[in-house]
Structure formats: C-alpha cells, structure tokens
Structure 1
Amino acid sequence: MEATSPPFWPWSSPPQADALEVSGVPLHVAGVAFGVAILAYSLVNAIEIAVVGANRIRVRHLMEQGNRAAAALYRLQQAKERFFTLIVLLQNLSVVVASTAGSFMAAQAVGGVGGLALGTGVMTLGLAMLGEVLPKVLAAHAGERFPLVMARPVAAIMWLLRPLVVPLATAPAFVSRLLFGQRLGVTPTVTEAELRTLIDIAAEEEAVEERQAELLERVFRFGERRVREVMVPRTEVVWLERGTTVSEFYRLYAQNPHSRFPVYEGSVDNVVGIVNIKDVLRGLAQGEVGPDSVIDWFMRPALFVPESKRVGDLFWEMQRSGQQMAVVVDEFGGTAGVVTLEMLLEELVGVVSDELRPAQQEFVTVDERTYRLDAGMSIDDANQELGLDLPEGDYETVAGFVLDHLGHVPREGEQFVYNGLRITVTRMAGRKIEEVTVTRLGTPQGQEPTP
C-alpha cells in the first residue's frame, strides 16, 4: 500500500523545500531586501519633511551667498509638483519591496494564514515606527544641514527619473484643465499673515529693533487703509475762495501757514484748483503780480480721488503724477476732505514736523491710568499706542466712537463707561468733540452714559 502525503491546509505550514521552491528567494536575500526597503522608506520620508520644512527665506539667503546646496534645495522647493511626485514614486517602490520581502520571510518562517498575519503585523509596525514616525521626528529636529546635504542627490535622482516624474507631475494639471477648464491653484510661499507673525517673533527675540518692527508693521497697514481714514475732513480744511486777492491770501496764510490751499467757487463741494505758496512767492519776486492781483492766476489743476481708494494706490498715483495734494470725494460727489503726499508718508514714518508746523501730540499721559486724547486720533492709533481696545465701526476717530456709542452730540463734561474705561468729553467746539479723557477703571462697569 502506497504511502500518501498528508493533506495541505491553507493555515498549515508547507514543507520548507516547497516554500523555497515557491518563493525562489533565499531567506537572507529577502531579509537584506526588507531592511534596505525600510531604510529607504525612512530616508525618503525624512527628506520630504526636511525639504518642505526648510526655511525658504533662509535657503534663499544662503543661495544668494553662493551656496550650491542651498541653490539645489531652493529648486526642489520651487518644483513642488515634480518633487512630491518623486517622493511618492520612491515611497511606493520602497513599500512594494518591503511588503514582498516581508511576505517571503513570513511564508518561509511560519507559512499559511499565520505567516500572512505575522507578515502584515510586522510590516505595519515597521513602516509606522521605523518608516514614518521616527524619520519625520528626527528630520524635524535635524535643522538645515540635513536638507542641504540631501538636496543635490535628490535633484540628481529626480533628473534620472524624469521620464517617469515629468508625466506624472503634469497629469493633475492636465486633468484639472480637462474637467474644470482651469489650472490647479498655486499656494504662495509666504503669506502676509506669516510675514507679520515673523516680524512679531523677530521683535520679541530682538532680532530686529522695535522701531524697525514698527516701521514694517506700518508698511502692511499702509496698504490696507483707505483714504477716508487719513484725510483731513472738510470741516478742518483751510479753504480759499476764487477771486481772493494776494494780500488777503497773505493774511490767511499768516494764520494758517500751510504749503497748499484748495480753491473753491461758490461752495466747497465745487473745488476748482490748488494754490501753492511757492508759486505766489515766485510771482511776487518776479514782479508778475501785485498785492491786489487775484489768486486765481496761480491755480493748478486738482486731483480728485474717491474716499474708498486705498492709501497705497493713492501714494503711487500721486508720486507718478507729481501731485502733492488730492481732493477726496465722497460717494455722493461732495467734497469729503483733502489729503497730501506728506500725510501719506506720515502713515509710514510717523508725524513729520517742521518750523511752520510743530508736531502735535495726539495724547498726553496724565497718570498711569489716565490719558487726554485728541478726539481726532484714529481708533487704530489709540488702540496700538495705549492698548485701549476700542471697537471698530463706521467711524475712524475717537470722536466718531463717542458719537456712535452715545447716539447724540454730547455736552462738555459728559462721560460714559465702556469696557473698563471711563471716557469723558473734556472739550467741545460747537458740535465738534475736540478732546476726551480716558481713565482705566479697576473693574469693568456698565456702559450707560452719565451726565
């Protein structure tokens, strides 16, 4: 009677010779392939984190100093689609090799369903710990040296594999155009919010001086603000009526020594030009006019701008046109005020004073809890300079906030409490609020106005 082989079940272990015949790979070769694949997977993940996390500003600075490794790293950061395509290719290749080698070793060691389960568990833990977590943590703490060292080898590999990398990298953009008729969006390298945060951090760490940080912050606010926030309102403008004589103009100038005066005809809503004091002085010196001559002879065309125009846009427009003053027009076509190039510059560098116009303090510190404020001080400046945390609204100044909060024109001496601040109207000029006093209270109280 012939001997029969025992039946083979999927969960049983096959004979060692059969396993070797099935796999065709010696155990030690599979082990080496498995180890190399895990190491390669770990290295690829570390490179991905290091390149993506490298400080782009620092990399560009090193590149401009002639660092070739930094130049290679910068090119990798710029070629995002190709770089990530290469990373995905290498990651998948490593996973396939590691999975295949691990399956061979598990099949030879255990076999059957038990070997499959063991191989799956080992692969999962090995890839998670050795291939994902550990290399990414190490790369995040390695600093800039690791990505600089690896940049050129990675660039060389990307060049060698370009027949695969280029088509795969361009495929998403092609599919996007095919389906949606547009290209994939490009995320900016550094956003404005990130730059502002970087400036704050640099100031806190004293990498830049406080004045430099303040100037940079003013640059950002400069581009955000509207003309109505910085203009001189029409009620505070010194106007010239058309037909005014030179002698009358001099009397006005003696009381209000400005460089330029807007000229109106009939109403300040009908501005017809701008008069420059230098033109008047030159005309008198050359004998072209006399004291009884009318000022109309010196008028220059006025530049009209909407009050919603951004300050930055107006600055460049005035710089290109050579205009030093612009008339601000509201949405109804009336005159809202005027703005000068000097006023726009002051938004960047602060108040500029001269012999004819001394610097005016917008606030005076009475004691550690009390301030006297010019009611025309902007809400932004009051919050930034004094930390008052006044709310923003359909107004630009402290006076506007007071009127908005009270809902009526206040009396001199009227006060109210808002958010732990006692705000007192200390000086009025007719219906105009000229000065307020702000006192910090120990405990926030109600917000009802009190006489």
Structure 2
Amino acid sequence: MDEPPSSWIPVSDDPLRDLVTRLLWVLLLLVINALFVAAEFSLVSVRRSRIVQLASEGNRSAQAVQRAQEQLRQFLSTMQACITMASLAMGWIGASQLAPVFAILLAQLPWALPVGSANLLVFLGLVYLQVLVGELIPKTLAIIYAEQTALSLMGVTSQLRWWLRPLVLLLDGSANLILRALRVPIPDSATLFNAVTAEELQLLIAATGESGSLEAEERELLTNVFEFGETVASEVMIPRTSIDAINETATVQDVLLAVADSGHSRYLVIGESLDDIRGLVHVKEVVAALGRGELSIETAINSFIRPAHFEYESKRVGELLSEMQQQHRAMVVIVDEFGGTAGLITIRDLVEEIVGRISDEVDADDEPDFQVVDERTTIIQAQVDLDDVNEKLLLALPIQDDYQTLGGFVIYQMQKIPQVGERFVYDNIEFTVMGIDGPRLDRIKMHILEPVATTES
C-alpha cells in the first residue's frame, strides 16, 4: 500500500493514531477560530455605555475593549485575518494531512469505496464543524454574553492586533484603494457604531412590542418620542375655538370666576377678539396680591398683564419645547400665516405628546377621550386626533390637510356643521353626533355595523 505524503505532523505505523492526531489539530484550529469569532461579535454587541462605565472605574479589560471600539475597523480586520488563517490552515490539514490518513482507514473496510470518497467526506465533515463549532455556537454565545466575552478575550486579541499590525495595515490600505476606485465612502469607527437609523430603531421597537419584550406603555412611549420630532405646532395646539381668554377690561373677580370655571393657571388677555391679544395674566400673581390685601376683587388686572409670545403653526414641536424650556415660557400663542390666532400651546401639551394624557384632581371628573359602550360602539371626544382614533380602534380612516381631528373628519364628510343626532356611514362605520358646543362638535359615537350577508343566486 502507498505511503501517505510527507507531513510536518509525525506519521506512525498506526493509521488510527495518525487520524486522532490530525483531528486534534483540527479541533485546536476550530477553537482558535471560535475565539476570534466570539471576540469579533462580542465587541460589536456589547453595550458601549456599560464599557465606558467600567473603564471609568479602572477596569483594565474594559479599557482595552474601549480602545478596540475606538479603532473598530482595525480590530475587525485583525479578527478577520485570524479567522481566515485558521480556516485555511484547517482546510490545508484536511486536504494534505487528514484525507490521506482517512483514505488508509477506508481501504481497510470490507466494502470498496471510490478513490475520492476520503476527500469528499473530509470536506463535508470540516464544513459541518467549521459552521457549527467555528461560527454559529461562538457567535450566539458572544451575542448573549457580550460583556463577559469581550472582557475575557480582549487581552489576547489586543496582543494579536499588535503582532499583526503590518498585515492589517496592508489589508486596510488595499481595501481603501479599491473602495475609492469604486467611489464608495469609507466609514470610520464612529459611523460603524452609529449605523442604525431612526427608521430601523422604530422597526425594532415595533418588533419587540409584538414579541412581548416591551410592554404596551413602553412601546407607546418610545414611539411617541420618535414621532415628536416630526410633529408641528398645529397638530398639538389647543385650537382657537377652545381657548379660554379674558378681556383686558376684566377685574380680579373676573379672573377668579374664570379659574372656578376652567381651572387654568394662565389666561390670554384679549382686546376686541382673539386676534387682538394684549398679553397673558398669571393667576398666581393675582391671587398672591389679593391675599396680601394689595387689591380688591374690583381691581382691574391691567398691571398684571405680561407680554405674550408667538410662534407659527409650522414650528416643529421639538424645537418649540427646547426654546420654551430655555426661555422659561409656559405658554405660547400659535399664529397662522396671516398673523391670526390659530391656537395656543403649553408645556403640558408638549409633554403629553410624549408621555400621554396627564390628569390631576381637577381633570378626574372630565369625560374620557374614549368611552367604550360595547365591542362595536365607542363614544369619542371630537377634538381627539384622527391618528389616535385609528391607532386605538385599529382603523384606517383617511387623514388629509383639511382636518386633523375626528370632529374635522365628520365635518369634512358631511360638508356642513351637523346638529345633534345627525349621522352618516363611512366604510361600514356609523358616525353619530352626540353633542355640540356652539359651532364646535363635542362628542361622536362610532358604531361598527354588522357585515351585510350576501347570498349567491
């Protein structure tokens, strides 16, 4: 029988012993490959904020991880070079060292096999082990135990980065030349770590919400944060028709009566109309002066009027909230393109866009926005945004520039200001006007009709 080719691995007269020796070499290379894969995935999976915290506490392993994250491209290139060398070495052992020994063992079997069987079996076996032991298992463990894995392996990998630095620089330089020739931008480490877009984060929030990893309240809060930046003032303002204002000729008694009626802490002060805004008055200042005996209930409020601040209805609420915080403004008047009063916004309105409706003792007796009558019927406040109606009732009512609220949708569909009791049907949903407040709709009943049964002729 022919002897196997010369080998740097010692060859004995026992084929089985030679096979075990070469398998041990393969196993060693698999472990090395797995460690490099684990180091690579743990570094990109570990929470960067946690590493910064540990590094600031003096953890040397965390400091090594932090340095690797700051030079992420070089680190990934080093790991890829090591993984590639380990994989090629394992393939070399399989082709030149393991297959001949395996062929000797196959030749001793009582049944005959084709000459190339040993090479094919060794190839399939190595592919299986490489994917399972060298890739899938270490990758999964590194993602699950990212912090422990990164801290444990960074010492060894840091030394390798130093030894392989010339090779890595050569590889990176070659890759950069090719990318530049293809007009592809070369990302830096910061770009690699911030590669997740806002849209991808929103998809991730939706996916984790559906899987149950996030509670409904947590999912809604995160979604509101993303939507907040795209919202404009006209979408969240208190509309002109809902503004409670007092006249510039009002007295302290008029202010107290307004507080008893609506409970606000600030009121706009107007002249002839809401388009003639003279300023605003703080109830706290009026009550404090009244308590000190500096005025009577018949005193005019002129001396308490402060300047009002104005913003256009196209203003992004994210920018508006930041400005109101910096300039210590609790209320802003929203004007349209012609300078007329369109509505007003308070700090509370903006905060509620993120955290949801905030109710205090005064609000406890207010009617809820959604009052469920039965599984098919809901009574809704007409001022509720149509977006919220669609989300709450799982509907797809159309939204246009002409309206934003449920009441606006009803008026748009009926092409008039309806009276109490008037109704119409849209997309198998019956809308009934339950209440009005002057020209403004107050409550709308939505009833999902039973599907009409069709009979085949």
- TM-score normalised by length of structure 1: 0.73
Q: Is the CA contact (8 Å cut-off) linking 1:60 and 1:71 kept in structure 2?
A: no
Give the match's secondary structure for 2:323: helix
Which range moves more in the overlay, 311-320 or 436-445? 436-445
Q: Is the CA contact (8 Å cut-off) linking 1:261 and 1:275 kept in structure 2?
A: yes
Q: Is the CA contact (8 Å cut-off) linking 1:176 and 1:184 kept in structure 2?
A: no
What amino acid maps onto 1:144 in structure 2?
Y
Q: CA deviation at 1:419?
A: 4.5
Q: CA deviation at 1:246?
A: 4.4
Is the aligned partner of 1:262 residue 2:268? yes
Deviation per CA, 1:302-321: give whole Å up to 9, x if none: 22223233333322221211
Structure 2 residue runs of 5 or longer lacking an equivalent are: 13-17, 104-114
Q: CA deviation at 1:48?
A: 2.8
2:33 to 44, 47, 50: 44
5 Å matches for 1:217-296? Answer: 217-285=223-291, 294-296=300-302
5 Å matches for 1:342-381? Answer: 342-347=348-353, 348-355=355-362, 358-381=365-388
The whole-number CA distance in structure 2 between the counterparts of 1:331 and 1:286 is 43
Give the match's secondary structure for 1:322: coil
5 Å matches for 1:107-126? Answer: 125=124
Q: Is the CA contact (8 Å cut-off) linking 1:423 and 1:439 kept in structure 2?
A: yes
Q: CA deviation at 1:85?
A: 0.6
Q: CA deviation at 1:86?
A: 1.1
The whole-number CA distance in structure 1 between the counterparts of 2:263 and 2:448 is 38
Is the aligned partner of 1:81 residue 2:70? no
The whole-number CA distance in structure 1 between the counterparts of 2:201 and 2:409 is 31
Aligned partner of 1:131 in structure 2 is: 130
What amino acid maps onto 1:184 in structure 2?
P
Is the aligned partner of 1:153 residue 2:156? yes
Q: Is the CA contact (8 Å cut-off) linking 1:60 and 1:70 kept in structure 2?
A: no
The whole-number CA distance in structure 2 between the counterparts of 1:407 and 1:120 is 80
Q: CA deviation at 1:327?
A: 0.8
Q: Is the CA contact (8 Å cut-off) linking 1:33 and 1:97 kept in structure 2?
A: no
Identity %: 30
The whole-number CA distance in structure 2 between the counterparts of 1:365 and 1:356 is 19
The whole-number CA distance in structure 2 between the counterparts of 1:104 and 1:255 is 93
1:399 to 391, 404, 407: 407
Aligned partner of 1:297 in structure 2 is: 303
Structure 1 residue runs of 5 or longer lacking an equivalent are: 1-15, 111-115, 447-451
Q: CA deviation at 1:158?
A: 1.9
Q: Is the CA contact (8 Å cut-off) linking 2:94 and 2:123 kept in structure 1?
A: no
Q: Is the CA contact (8 Å cut-off) linking 2:324 and 2:330 kept in structure 1?
A: yes
Deviation per CA, 1:5-51: give whole Å up to 9, x if none: xxxxxxxxxxx89x96xx89678599978974785367436743674
The whole-number CA distance in structure 2 between the counterparts of 1:312 and 1:204 is 28
The whole-number CA distance in structure 1 between the counterparts of 2:424 and 2:47 is 51
Q: CA deviation at 1:391?
A: 4.0
Give the match's secondary structure for 1:228: helix
Q: Is the CA contact (8 Å cut-off) linking 2:308 and 2:332 kept in structure 1?
A: yes
5 Å matches for 1:408-423? Answer: 408-423=416-431
Deviation per CA, 1:378-434: give whole Å up to 9, x if none: 223334444444444433221123234445444433333444432222223454322
Q: CA deviation at 1:154?
A: 2.4
Q: For the structure 1 residues 384 and 147, does the alpha-carbon distance in structure 2 shift closer, same or farther, using more than 3 Å as the test?
A: same
Q: CA deviation at 1:100?
A: 5.3
5 Å matches for 1:23-34? Answer: 28=11
RMSD of Structure 2 on Structure 1 (CA) = 4.6
Q: For the structure 1 residues 96 and 252, does the alpha-carbon distance in structure 2 shift closer, same or farther, using more than 3 Å as the test?
A: closer
The whole-number CA distance in structure 2 between the counterparts of 1:170 and 1:256 is 70
Aligned partner of 2:339 in structure 1 is: 333
Aligned partner of 1:10 in structure 2 is: none
The whole-number CA distance in structure 1 between the counterparts of 2:203 and 2:46 is 14
The whole-number CA distance in structure 1 between the counterparts of 2:186 and 2:339 is 42
